[in-house]
Amino acid sequence: MREARRRELCSFAIESLPKEVRESKMNTPEEIFLKDYKSPDYYFDTVDLNFSLGEEKTIVASKITVFPRLEVKVNGKELKEGASILDSCHLTLSSPPGNKFTLEIDTEIQPQKNTLLEGLYKSSGNFCTQCESEGFRKITFYQGGKHYVVWENPFEKPSYLFALVAGQLESRDDIFITRSGQKVSLRIWTPAQDVPKTAHAMYSLKAAKKWDEDVFGLEYDLDLFNIVAVPDFNMGAMENKSLNNFNSKLVLASPETATDTDYAAILGVNSHEYFHNWTGNRVTCQDWFQLSSKEGLTVFRDQEFSSDMGSRTVKRIADDAGPMAHPVRPHSYGAEVVRMYKTLLGTQGFHKVFTSWDSGSKSYSSYNTEADTFSLKVSQEEPPTPGQPVKEPMFIPVAVGLLDSSGRDVPLSSMYHNGTLQSVACNNQPVLSTVLRVTKKEEEFVFSDIFVRPIPSLLRGYSAPICLEYDLIDKDLFFLLAHDSDEFNRCRFPTKQTLALNPKFVQGLRNILCDTGLDKEFIAKAITLPGEGEIMDMMEVADPNAVHAVQTFIRKEIASQLKSEFLNTVKNNRSSDEFVFNHPKMAQYALKNVALDIMELALHEYKAATNMTERFAALAAITQKPGKTCNDELTDLYNKWQHDFLVVNKWFALQVMSDIPGNVENVCNLLSHPAFDLRNPTKVYSLIGGFCGSPMNFHAKDGSGYKLLGEIVLQLDKLNPRVASRMVSAFSRWRHFDESRQKLAKAQLEKIVSVNGLSENIFEIASESLSA
């Protein structure tokens, strides 16, 4: 077969586009549907890359073997001059050969000026890459659609998994022996001074490898696995085959600089990226419409891993992010669909097949004393979406248990459904919980041989990602809080509280605090009140000020009525032992710190703290009380740790998340702090993201919080549109608030979309928010 060659020398734009190009992007983004997807006309079979890295410029020489998918009528000769068209974003060959050919391109790029942090860029003097989803095209010209790149391993990969890192780095080295006896070298790369902080990351990686072998039977398939810690990184981490790029905050940890929450995050994210080796890398996407599959399955796997390493109930509560978690989305929310497969198939059945809905459901219950039956009626409603005004019923697994008057689970053996008597027993033995398979708009399940009026425990373990409405009264919810064997449901606080706490609610919390058989991490979670943002999501019209006032009242009442229990909890969970990260110790710290916070005793803990977990908990309380103590302790923390950028990021977050009235001014001052850099995503997430998490100040009545975010989004969009798009998403629920706040937030969104040269991501998110 005759092979045609063509070499192109071009300069690739990674800085601001020309004015005429920017303005052309202001049209409403075109929606792309799965039905419109088609395979490309050409397959890029192999790609050889040669990087000449330089401080001023980098030359990337690519040699690509191309196979035509469709017959193209050309004469098979070399391309003539003028047969290619080059602009700031694309290289177009107007008459490519119809047979196999090799395309050679020399591309000049400037990584040191790449503030997008996509493609090849510099971070703290080191060359780094980020290629998901289309960053590879910022390194060298590449086609759209399905494509592969192969480097030194035997498996083909999509180009978004390509990675390169070059710089002055040292590694922590270790060895992992797979169950089949293969020796795998493990290396975690960081600047020399940070290598001691990688011990926990290495432990996390080895734990994930062993768990994946034990639970899913999956071994690592190469003999080398690298992780690189990068200070400037848009995301948390990236699963590039054998060379994972990580945001430094998810690799580096020491007791002096990291909290137990940081340690848990490192464990979870390291496992997630490792699990992608099979679910995402080896078994990969045909196109980006399948993103939900590869991310959802991998998130499910890392959730199961974290549950086995800690408290399954607490992890499940954390996975339920409230009403915003219910649609099926690529990462955490896609995992809910996978979890429902496991619920329906059981663990063994799910593992055999292995080798969110925006749905609302209602339940109504009744007890027949003469027939000794208990009836549950379940209906489901699907709100209309664009192009789909009428929805078919979903398949919803609802895990259910029944409690008797003493709080014990009622044995279940059979139920009537669809006119027939069905057994729910297992091995001819009654069960304490069963899964109802809801498939119709409305249906009824009638349990037989129920000899006392029970209280139903519904949606146990959060068996489906739905918003469930039920006819249980507060008395029933207080009973479940005190007695339910399903720990997830014990955390469902009654939502209709007046400014006088129901004694049964307080007694339910007392039962949990004093139950020595419960996991301490679960107790800490159960006695923690729902966040203000979570409560506002449940309100028809959100009122940040009212929610904050009620939260403050409830905390003070709980502290007063359970004073002796909380003081005993603090006393029984103090420890002078050296900090060690494991589940029992993490649970102990969590319970003690929650008790201290509720009792407002954490203010006195900062000086005595021996690790960052205790120190951070004390400072979180201190920042809610402005004054000399607050200023002195914050200054002390900064002076001690100003050389450690991860601690400084915590220092930023502590201040901007404070509910002190008028804190917007302090946030503006911190934007000018010499340690803050708008070009660094992690610093932006700490300072600006943290501020958006403070309902009292971000949703300030005068609109100052909205105005600040609007200004920052426009500044960020010129530097890093991906980070800017994450920030502008804070406006997405603006219609959920009162009319005055809606007007102020809408004005900022309209200002943003009116700016010429706005990135496509920002324009799309802001426009959709306005039209929602």
Catalytic residues: 273
Measured over all CA atoms, what is the biggest interatomic distance in the chain, rounded to whole angstroms?
Answer: 92
Give the Cα separation of 143 and 149 in Å (integer): 12
Choose among 475, 504, 508, 470: nearest CA to 491. Answer: 508
What are φ and ψ of residue 19, in 5° steps?
-55, -45
Question: 3-state DSSP call for residue 84?
Answer: strand
Q: Which helix (H) or strand (E) holds 651?
A: helix 645-656
Instruction: Please state whether 623 falls in left (phi above 0), alpha (psi between -120 and 50) or beta.
Output: alpha
Q: Which residues of 382-476 form beta strands (DSSP E)?
A: 396-403, 414-417, 420-423, 434-438, 442-447, 455-458, 467-470
Of 455, 407, 464, 411, the closest CA to residue 435 belongs to 464
Q: Point out which residues pair with 403 in neighbouring strands.
A: 409, 455
With DSSP H G I counted as helix, E B as strand and the rest as coil, what are the percentages for the chain, rounded to 5?
40, 20, 40
What is the rounded distance in angstroms from the CA atom of residue 167 to the CA atom of residue 172?
Answer: 16
Find the helix or strand (DSSP H, E) in which 303 lies. helix 291-309
Question: Rounded to an integer, what distance in angstroms lies between the CA atom of residue 187 and that of residue 175?
Answer: 9
DSSP β-ladder status, 414-417 and 442-447 = antiparallel
Question: According to DSSP H, which parts of 77-189 are helical?
Answer: none
Distance CA(435)–CA(344), nearest Å, equals 8
Q: Check: CB of residue 506 under 8 Å from CB of residue 558.
A: yes
Residue 695: closest CA among 664, 740, 727, 726: 664
CA atoms within 13 A on the CB side of 389: 0
d(CA 606, CA 107): 54
Q: How far is CA 138 from the centre of its chain?
A: 26
- How would you class 395 by CB atoms within 10 Å of its CB: exposed for 0-12, middle for 13-18, buried for 19 or more? exposed
Q: Which residues have a Cβ under 8 Å from the Cβ of 477 and sit 6 or more positions away?
A: 492, 493, 494
Best CA proximity match to 599, nearest among 633, 554, 558: 558
Q: Distance between CA 767 and CA 28 in Å, rounded?
A: 8
Report the alpha-carbon angle 187-191-193, nearest 5.
Answer: 110
